[in-house]
């Protein structure tokens, strides 16, 4: 990511509707994965932990550690009181084989030049029957300013991500598009940015103060539906995959 992005993220990810709603969706999948793992307190690794808001949420489900390539991001984690964080690349995780029950990559693998190498590393540090939980952006036609400033390499379709996981030796248990609620507004907004040339410093700055809480609840409400059915399209993809051996 561009360096200024971390300071923006640190400021907004606890109250911006996108982060609040996304975290609620992610947590519903974390809870389900933990039940499948069958441990009361599974050991969790958040790959690409950023400034730490997701890591705080994960720590409610078990001992959670974070790793990120950015030393600046880790300083923000420590400012939140998160001490179990390390600097390292997703393609070369600084952990022993079969160390974790759950590994998360929350808007991470799209940053990697070699996403398959990152997925292979996630599998390596997973214990047998452990789970990987991924959240990634969907559809290249939704490419926008946030993709540029976050140094994304790609956006995925369900089929593309499923093939990558298979190539990494992971078995997909659950995969669906997410953020159906704001698919059309985001598509229109990004098309307008392309047509007008308007480029905000970060799309994370874009919100409507009076509606922020409502928007977060609308997006977060998808967590109930996503535990029961799959969406045919959306702004993102969420999936759970298993290491079988």
- Per the structure, the count of domains in the chain is 1
Tokens 């047509």 -> residue: 195
For residues 41 and 194, what is the distance between their CA atoms, to the nearest angstrom? 46
Tokens of 27: 């947590």
Check: CB of residue 155 under 8 Å from CB of residue 136. yes
- The pTM of this model reads 0.92
Tokens of 143: 């490419």
- CATH number for the domain including 80? 3.40.50.150
For residues 63 and 57, what is the distance between their CA atoms, to the nearest angstrom? 11
- 184: Cβ contacts below 8 Å, ≥ 6 apart: none
**pLDDT tens digits for 29-77?**
999 999 999 998 999 999 999 999 999 999 999 999 999 999 999 999 9
> Partners of 68 in the beta sheet?
87
Burial of 162 (0-12, 13-18, 19+ CB in 10 A): middle
pLDDT of residue 4: 56
pLDDT of residue 126: 98
For residues 224 and 226, what is the distance between their CA atoms, to the nearest angstrom? 6
Q: Enumerate residue ranges in the chain where pLDDT < 70.
A: 1-5, 199-209
- State CA 40 to chain mean position distance: 23
- 129: Cβ contacts below 8 Å, ≥ 6 apart: 37, 242, 243, 244
Containing domain of residue 145, as a range? 3-242
DSSP 95-133: S-TT-EEEEEEES-GGG-SSHHHHHHHHHHHEEEEEEEE
């Amino acid at each position: 990511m561009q360096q200024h992005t971390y300071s923006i993220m640190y400021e907004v990810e606890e109250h911006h509707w996108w982060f609040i709603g996304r975290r609620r969706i992610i947590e519903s999948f974390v809870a389900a994965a933990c039940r499948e793992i069958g441990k009361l307190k599974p050991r969790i690794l958040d790959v690409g932990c950023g400034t730490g808001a997701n890591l705080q949420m994960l720590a409610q489900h078990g001992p959670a550690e974070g790793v990120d390539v950015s030393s600046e991001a880790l300083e923000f984690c420590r400012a939140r009181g998160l001490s179990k964080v390390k600097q390292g690349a997703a393609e070369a995780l600084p952990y022993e084989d079969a160390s974790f029950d759950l590994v998360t990559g929350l808007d991470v693998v799209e940053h990697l030049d070699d996403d398959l190498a990152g997925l292979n590393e996630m599998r390596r540090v997973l214990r047998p029957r452990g789970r990987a939980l991924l959240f990634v952006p969907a559809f290249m036609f939704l490419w926008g300013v946030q993709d540029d400033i976050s140094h994304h390499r790609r956006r995925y379709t369900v089929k593309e991500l499923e093939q990558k996981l298979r190539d990494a030796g992971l078995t997909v248990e659950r995969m669906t598009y997410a953020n159906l609620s704001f698919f059309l507004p985001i598509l229109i907004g990004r098309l307008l940015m392309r047509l007008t040339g308007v480029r905000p410093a970060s799309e994370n700055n874009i919100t409507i103060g009076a509606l922020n809480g409502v928007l977060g609840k609308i997006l977060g409400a998808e967590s109930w539906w996503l535990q029961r059915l799959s969406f045919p399209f959306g702004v993102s993809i969420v999936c759970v995959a298993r290491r079988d051996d």
